[in-house]
Structure 1
């Protein structure tokens, strides 16, 4: 049980990081396109 919960929390963190990075990249590209 503990291992399953651990992997789930890890995947949650990974997803949050990916979304954050993707948003940052999209914002940077958007600003670059505007200029």
Structure 2
């Protein structure tokens, strides 16, 4: 169970990082073109 929950947390962490990176790229790109 410990290893399973650990892998689940790893997936969640990767998902959060991926979403954050995508949002940062979208907002950064829109603000960059906005200027």
Report the counterpart of residue 19 of structure 1 in structure 2.
17
Unaligned runs of 5+ in 1: none
Task: Give the TM-score normalised by structure 1.
Answer: 0.90
Unaligned runs of 5+ in 2: none
CA apart distance, 1:18: 0.2
2:29 maps to which of 8, 28, 31: 31
4+ residue runs of structure 1 moved beyond 2 angstroms? none
Q: RMSD over aligned Cα, in angstroms?
A: 0.4
